[in-house]
């Protein structure tokens, strides 16, 4: 891998392919795969990632919002795209760009049918979401009959899939709850399909569900964090490769005396003569203030250098007293050796938060060999 000469997020597309193949190895050959590429493909680059996966014959994509789907269409993505949380104001755009909405309550269902009818649609693909315990979005089990009756009043839409979302599939202490969700979903979808008169695709599992609950793979699985190299467990993390490495460089090295302070609000006071390195990355780039004051760290020449003082908007300072290094040397914030999950734990958070927080001003580069 090339040495960094500026702050850069290096994205390894072969690692992405490896992760997809590992996830496929857990599935039956006829199980479809939906790749979740919302939030700039978990902070990487949604357009590049989706086009790469499209060439690997992925079956579906999912984004959170219509604007994300529009960006993928503009980038040449032809694969079906499920919009997980569409807003009614964007329904006409959604139809114009051949995106497929998740419909999760009576208001959204009625609004979409109205607009689809006005736009002279016939059998427009929609996805009906049920709440089985996450209590975030979704129709309740007791609404099955009402939803089916509404769908039977129109030819503007046709149900492409029924789905729900597991609340704690990564936590085996919650196995009983997850199994109850799986059972509830199967009951709901059987009732729904029987009443509707045809069988839509069924999907329930996220990455951890794929790995921990093979009985719930059904017709299609959804994978997000797993594609990007994280399995939500120490065991599965070893089978996946983080696709993104956040790198920077040392801009300046200071030698500070005992009692001198570093950074805003004089948050760090030197206990002895120390050497510090200033690095051009800060909270405007996604490294929040919670990583300062010796909680977070970076890696320089394989050694950990704790972040000292408060994280600045565009810079961090680290303690390099015991590290032989020079201005211009490469710095690794997270990657394959120290991954984003390990970095995030220093601030009591999760890999999802740190990787999706990396600002769009950070340059993206891509490896494909």
Closest Cα to residue 132, out of 186, 60, 195? Answer: 186
**Catalytic one among 175, 264, 275, 295?**
264
Give residue for tokens 């710095």. 331
* 264 part of the active site: yes
Q: Please list, residue by residue across 24-57, b when 16 or more beta carbons sit within 10 angstroms of its beta carbon and e when fewer do.
A: bebbeeebbbbbbbbbbbbbbbbbbbbbbbbeee
* 228 part of the active site: no
CB 333 within 8 A of CB 15: no
Burial (CB < 10 A; 0-12, 13-18, 19+), residue 152, is exposed
Q: Count Cβ atoms below 10 Å from residue 326 Cβ, excluding itself.
A: 9
CA 123 – CA 116 distance, rounded (Å) = 9
**Catalytic one among 38, 129, 160, 247?**
38
Under 8 Å CB-to-CB from 54, ≥6 apart: which residues?
Answer: 77, 78, 79
**H or E element, residue 83:** strand 81-83
CB 336 within 8 A of CB 241: yes
CA 250 – CA 350 distance, rounded (Å) = 26
Strands 330-334 and 316-319: unpaired
The catalytic site residues sit at 38, 264
């Amino acid at each position: 891998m090339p040495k960094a000469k500026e702050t850069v997020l290096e994205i390894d597309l072969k690692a992405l392919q490896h992760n997809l193949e590992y996830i496929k190895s857990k599935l039956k050959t006829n199980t479809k795969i939906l790749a979740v590429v919302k939030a700039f493909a978990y902070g990487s680059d949604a357009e590049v990632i989706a086009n790469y996966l499209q060439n690997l014959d992925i079956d579906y994509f999912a984004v959170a919002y219509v604007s994300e789907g529009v960006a993928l269409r503009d980038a040449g993505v032809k694969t079906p795209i499920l919009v997980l949380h569409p807003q009614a104001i964007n329904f006409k755009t959604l139809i114009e760009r051949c995106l497929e909405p998740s419909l999760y309550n009576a208001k959204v269902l009625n609004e979409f049918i109205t607009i689809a009818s006005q736009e002279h649609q016939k059998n427009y693909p929609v996805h009906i979401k049920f709440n089985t315990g996450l209590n975030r979005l979704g129709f309740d089990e007791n609404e099955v009959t009402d939803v089916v009756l509404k769908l039977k009043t129109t030819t503007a839409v046709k149900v492409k899939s029924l789905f729900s979302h597991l609340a704690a599939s990564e936590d085996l202490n919650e196995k009983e709850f997850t199994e109850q969700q799986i059972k509830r979903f199967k009951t709901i979808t059987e009732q729904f399909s029987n009443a509707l008169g045809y069988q839509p695709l069924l999907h329930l599992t996220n990455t951890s569900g794929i790995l921990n609950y093979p009985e719930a793979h059904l017709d299609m699985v959804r994978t997000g964090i797993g594609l990007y190299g994280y399995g939500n467990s120490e065991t599965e993390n070893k089978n996946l490769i983080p696709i993104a490495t956040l790198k920077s460089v040392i801009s300046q090295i200071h030698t500070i005396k005992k009692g001198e302070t570093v950074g805003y609000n004089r948050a760090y006071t030197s206990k002895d003569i120390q050497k510090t390195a200033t690095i051009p990355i800060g909270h405007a780039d996604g490294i929040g203030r919670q990583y300062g004051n010796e909680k977070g760290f970076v890696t320089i020449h394989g050694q950990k250098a704790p972040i000292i003082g408060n994280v600045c908007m565009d810079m961090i300072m680290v303690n390099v007293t015991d590290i032989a290094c020079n201005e211009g040397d490469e710095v690794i914030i997270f990657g394959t050796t120290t991954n984003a999950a390990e970095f995030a734990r220093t601030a009591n958070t999760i890999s999802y938060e740190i990787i999706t927080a990396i600002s769009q001003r950070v340059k993206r580069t891509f490896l494909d060999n």
